[in-house]
Amino acid sequence: MSAIDDVFAKLRAENRKALMPFVTAGDPDLEFTAAVLTELAVRGASLCEVGIPYSDPIADGPVIQASYTRALDNGIKLHSILETLRSVAPQLTAPVVTMVSYAIIYRHGLEAYADALQQRGIAGMIVPDLPVEESPQLAKVCRARNLSLVQLVTPTTPRQRALKITETSSGFLYYVSVAGITGERTELPPDLIDRVSWLREQTPLPVCIGFGISQPEHVKLLSPVADGLIVGSAIVRRMADVQSLGRMETLKQIGDYVATLLGALE
């Protein structure tokens, strides 16, 4: 079992759901990234997603795109991100996964990227732009290293294709709540619960919902049907306040915000 499998087995035994915050690596710097990850784990996050900045993001909205641009403008490099995660990830109670474009993995080398994660105590990778037809090779590489390969299912994914995605995914399935880009939303699609309920009946993998989740009301609505909830833009937006609020106050506000979402899970 991978570290992510262990997390969900424990949560299921305790009849609890996962909260998975997302942070952009290197915005404004890697020292702050490490501090935020530590704060999230201390506050009770089950897993932490770390976005690897990319110049051509596939489905990210303006908040995450802007954070990627700031990190890249500051000269962030994959090696530096991984070295920072080496120092922090093994110390956290919440396993870390990287959200990374397949282009970066391919350029780095599938086995080399997986080896780099394994050597640094990182639990797996979420690859939002990996076509299911091209996923078996990376899935094999991840299995050999006990890493999780998380893939996405969207509202527009045909059901037969969704079933194929479950076959090469591991750790959990990332269900995209809306047909669109990341970002905070006040309302979620009315058929979301039915779609997620169907998917959970098709696979033993945990199904976690992301995109648009930002309010305790969203958590209360979706937690009965999902195994976990993913929160990204709302946290990344708060991280950007570090320039005006300072590091300690920004960390506190991020931690307090996550605490309100965790409270809604109970």
What CA–CA distances, in Å, run from 72 to 4, 62, 103, 222? 29, 15, 16, 34
| Predicted local distance difference test score (pLDDT) of residue 55 | 87
Distant-in-sequence, close-in-space partners of 104: CB < 8 Å, separation ≥ 6: 52, 54, 78, 113
6: annotated active-site residue: no
Cα–Cα distance, 218 to 201 (Å, whole number): 22
56, 60, 83, 191: the catalytic one is 60
Residue 185: per-residue pLDDT: 45
Domains in the chain: ranges and CATH:
3-7+18-265 (3.20.20.70)
Question: Of the residues 5, 27, 49, 227, which is catalytic?
Answer: 49
**Is 14 part of the annotated catalytic residue set?**
no
CA distance 65 to 103: 17
Q: Is the previous residue joined to 28 through a cis bond, with omega within 30 degrees of 0?
A: yes
The pLDDT of residue 179 = 57
Residues 84-143 have pLDDT tens digits of 999 999 999 999 999 999 999 999 999 999 999 999 999 999 999 999 999 999 999 999
pLDDT digits (tens, 9 = 90+) for 149-184: 999 999 889 999 999 999 999 999 999 986 544 444
This prediction's pTM: 0.93
Q: Tokens standing for 98?
A: 């990287």
pLDDT value, residue 59? 60
CA distance 225 to 89: 29
